[in-house]
Every structure is written in C-alpha cells, then in structure tokens.
Amino acid sequence: MRLERSRKSSPLLPWFGFIFVVLLCAPGCTFYGEHPARALSEATGGEGLERVFWKDVKSGKWVEVERSLASNYTGISPAGTFDRDAAIERYHQWELKDFSIGDLKTELNGNTIVVTYTITLNGIVRGNAGAGTGVSEPLPPTPQHMMTVWQQQKRGWVAIAHSSEP
C-alpha cells in the first residue's frame, strides 16, 4: 500500500502572490514622479493647461500662445474688455521672467473646464514706442485673481474666455 500526500495548498499562498504583485508595481509610483505637460496637447486637466499657457508666454512661444486662444476669445481685466488680437498684442509686450500659480481650482463640465487661480507675475511690460510710451514698467507684483474657460475642440484645448483682477 502506498501513502499519498495531501495536496492542500497553504491558505497564505494567495496572499504571498498578491503581496508580490503589489511590491513589484509599487516602485513605479515612487521612481517616476510627475511629468508636467510641455505642450497643450499633453495637458490632462485645467492646471496643466494653465501652466503650459504661462510657460509659453514666458518663453515667447507666440505661435503656441496664438494656437491656445480661440478665434472668438474674450477677455476682461480692470483695463476693460479685449478680443483675441488685443490679448495677443498685450502678451507680446510682456517680458515674463517667472510666475507662480496658487489656489487653483478646476471644474469640468462636458467639454469645458473652468479654472480659477491666483497668479503672481515677475517681469515687465515693454512700452509701445510707436504710441509714445516707450517706458517699461513692472508687471503687478501682487497676486492676481484669474479665471480661464477652456474648451475642447477638434484641434485640442483652447481658451475661450479669461478674466483677471488685481
């Protein structure tokens, strides 16, 4: 007569497998940090869209800035309302050295994202020599409250409205 061993598996065996898989995958979360978007096409949310936009203004990537504003773009600031062309002209006059975004909140509604935040700008506004105001002055150093409305269109995310106040 032959003795046969029982082939019962240990109740801990499935747990060891689970723990092994978790430990195998966990370093991926810690080794590779966040990768900020470098272009609007890489942005996955409102914060990414705003950061890419301001990086483009800072770097003077005017083609990218223009692509990010919808043809029917509208803005409002303490100086009044402005359309797309006036906004682009306004940004062209800026020499943005640095910016800091805080208190950021986003609201997604269908294909639209509303982003509210404060921004502190460091740079100057070059005067318009043709208009007789060739004097440069600093951008306001105090935090400004901003709101941008982004809409996803066939060509990607574009800003359709913007508001700022000191």
Query: Would residue 124 count as lying in a domain?
Result: yes
Query: Would residue 154 count as lying in a domain?
Result: yes
What's the confidence (pLDDT) of residue 141? 84
The alpha carbon torsion through 69, 110, 117, 127 (nearest 10 deg) reads: 10
Q: What is the mean pLDDT of residues 21-26?
A: 57
Query: Would residue 32 count as lying in a domain?
Result: no
Q: What is the mean pLDDT of residues 52-60?
A: 94
Query: Would residue 22 count as lying in a domain?
Result: no
Domain count, the chain: 1
Gap between the Cα atoms of 85 and 71, Å rounded: 9
Q: What is the mean pLDDT of residues 17-45?
A: 61
What's the confidence (pLDDT) of residue 3? 56
Query: Would residue 33 count as lying in a domain?
Result: no
Does residue 35 have a pLDDT over 90? no
Condensed to tens digits (0 to 9), the pLDDT of residues 100-116 reads 999 999 999 999 999 99
Q: What is the mean pLDDT of residues 62-67?
A: 95
Does residue 29 have a pLDDT over 60? no
Query: Would residue 141 count as lying in a domain?
Result: yes
Q: Which domain holds residue 69?
A: 40-165
What's the confidence (pLDDT) of residue 135? 76
Query: Would residue 13 count as lying in a domain?
Result: no
Does residue 4 have a pLDDT over 60? no
Query: Would residue 82 count as lying in a domain?
Result: yes
Residue 75 pairs in a beta bridge with 82, 162
Its pTM stands at: 0.73
Gap between the Cα atoms of 58 and 51, Å rounded: 10
Does residue 117 have a pLDDT over 80? yes
Give the domain CATH number at 152.
3.10.450.50
